[in-house]
Amino acid sequence: MRIRLTRAHTKLNDALHALADDPDNNTLNQRVRRAEASVAEHAALYDSTPAGQNELRDAIAHEDNDTSRNLLNQRLAAAEALRAQQIQTMHNSQQDQQQRTITMSNEPTLTQQQREAFWRLHGWRPDLPDSKRREIEKYWTDPEIVEAEALGF
């Protein structure tokens, strides 16, 4: 994240130097605005990292100017809030993934009558030799039966 922030600062500096050479250029003005927005976005993301928050705390501890210290405290509060939001979002995503996994593992269950009715369509009979009967039963499990019926088989 630190590298991205450094790159964003470099792009902003480049845009400001180009604008200094041609201050009336609208394209360069737009480039500076985009670069400033990028720096602000990357700075907020960096501040939300543990390293960024530690740097803010160090800066607060060493800042003598009340106004600057208040601004740093505001950045730290925003960074902590963003970090909490990121953690909550990640937690929710993990719960969603776990729920999808649980849902996927809950295979549909059919009654024995439903299974036998389907298996009969595919040659199953109670009086078949055990090996043949088991082969059909093993091939056509509940999920396969549900899928086949959904597809019109």
Burial class, 145, CB count within 10 angstroms (exposed 0-12 / middle 13-18 / buried 19+):
buried
Do 77 and 48 meet the contact criterion of CB atoms below 8 Å apart? no
Q: What are phi and psi of 109, to 5 degrees?
A: -115, 130
**Per-residue pLDDT tens digits for 43-100:** 999 999 999 999 999 999 999 999 999 999 999 999 999 999 988 888 888 777 766 6
**Per-residue pLDDT tens digits for 101-143:** 555 555 568 899 999 999 998 899 999 999 999 999 998 988 8
Report d(CA 58, CA 95) in Å as an integer: 35
DSSP letter for 24, please.
T
User: For residue 49, what are the CA distances in angstroms to 15, 56, 76, 134?
Assistant: 27, 11, 11, 58
Do 136 and 124 meet the contact criterion of CB atoms below 8 Å apart? yes
Do 52 and 1 meet the contact criterion of CB atoms below 8 Å apart? yes
Whole-prediction pTM value? 0.55
